[in-house]
Amino acid sequence: MRVRVENVRFHYRLGEPVLKGVTLDFEGEATAIIGQNGAGKSTLVRLINGLLKPVSGEVRVGDWNTGDFSVARLARRVGLVFQNPNDQVFKSVVRDEVMFGPKNLGMSGDTALASSREALADVGLEGAMDANPYDLSLAERKLVSIASVVAMNTDVVIFDEPTIAQDYAGVQRIGTLIEKLKARGKLIIAITHDMDFVAEIFPRAVVLRRGEVIIDGSTREVFSRPDLLRDSFVEPPHATQLGQALGLSETVLSVDEAVKGIKGHRSRLGGLAGSDTAHDQQFFQ
């Protein structure tokens, strides 16, 4: 499924523009949307799932113009995990919460249950079916809200800050789940402040600044522009920063790539790998 955002303008209050003519085309590639607080990221994804309608311009999900469809209809195509799970979770039993969306889309009880079980297992909460979501931690509640959306099996799945409040295991689990959804051909869009997560999972990144797209490209291209990122208060992934600090010519996105880059750099300096010469020390100063 393709999502097209065409010259979209939006404000909550007249005279205070939040999106100032945003054009983006999403098709195939999983995309990360990044940028400072208040840039308009959550607003953009609420326009894609139809909770908000553009003031001008249009948003198309497949052949549907969101202006012509209710949020309930659009939910057949677009699932959105809210930034704050407390705005999303409303049932008092996890099972009912996760099955609500699938049932609403018309899945039979059995299919909805199977889909909900699988989604809860994907987020590591298979044992929480009978829990009250409000007895869970905020991080677990976020995982419940992720499972609720994934269980709906929509073609487009949008995550607003999926890894917020998660520990390392939670982040890994969410990464694995997104990879699984990608492999199933879902269109994935995620807003995140976690740049290591962007580098690991998303081939494309879009940077929003004060309601405008300032960079849209492969994640490697985007992270190779520290000047533009600095203006948006975005710090590249740790491995990328290391590579840049060491003066590697290529932009690296992972520790493995950084290590390869360093080895290559050292061998170009004269086969110094593993040695402790003046050259070596100079390189690491």
Ligand X SMILES: Nc1ncnc2c1ncn2[C@@H]1O[C@H](COP(=O)(O)OP(=O)(O)OP(=O)(O)O)[C@@H](O)[C@H]1O
Q: Rule CB under 5 A: which residues touch Mg ion? A: 41-42, 83
Please say whether the beta carbons of 224 and 205 come within 8 A.
no
Q: Cβ 1 to Mg ion, closest distance in Å?
A: 23
3-class DSSP state of 226: helix
What is the C-alpha separation between 175 and 198, in angstroms, rounded? 10
- Does 39 bind ligand X (CB under 6 A)? Our answer is yes
Q: Find which of Mg ion, ligand X, none residue 38 binds, CB within 5 to 8 Å per kind.
A: ligand X
Residue with smallest beta-carbon separation from Mg ion: 42
Q: Find which of ligand X, Mg ion, none residue 243 binds, CB within 5 to 8 Å per kind.
A: none
In terms of CB distance, is 105 or 189 closer to Mg ion?
Answer: 189
Q: Cβ 203 to ligand X, closest distance in Å?
A: 22
Q: Cβ 38 to ligand X, closest distance in Å?
A: 4
- Does 37 bind ligand X (CB under 6 A)? Our answer is yes
Spell out the residues 6+ positions from residue 44 whose beta carbon is closer than 8 angstroms to its own.
5, 8, 19, 22, 33, 208
Q: Cβ 39 to ligand X, closest distance in Å?
A: 4
3-class DSSP state of 165: coil
Spell out the residues 6+ positions from residue 145 whose beta carbon is closer than 8 angstroms to its own.
81, 82, 85, 88, 89
- Does 54 bind ligand X (CB under 6 A)? Our answer is no
What is the C-alpha separation between 129 and 90, in angstroms, rounded? 15
User: What does the DSSP 8-state code read for residue 39?
Assistant: S
Q: Cβ 184 to ligand X, closest distance in Å?
A: 27
**How many alpha carbons lie under 13 Å from residue 13 in its C-beta half-sphere?**
1
What is the C-alpha separation between 51 and 80, in angstroms, rounded? 10
What is the C-alpha separation between 261 and 267, in angstroms, rounded? 10
In terms of CB distance, is 18 or 119 closer to Mg ion?
Answer: 18
Residues in contact with ligand X, shown as a per-residue x/- string from 70 to 109 under the rule CB under 6 A: -------------x--------------------------
Spell out the residues 6+ positions from residue 259 whose beta carbon is closer than 8 angstroms to its own.
none
Q: Cβ 158 to ligand X, closest distance in Å?
A: 12
In terms of CB distance, is 44 or 113 closer to Mg ion?
Answer: 44
Among 22, 30, 34, 40, interactor with ligand X by CB under 6 A:
40
Binding region for ligand X (CB under 6 A): 12, 18, 35, 37-43, 83
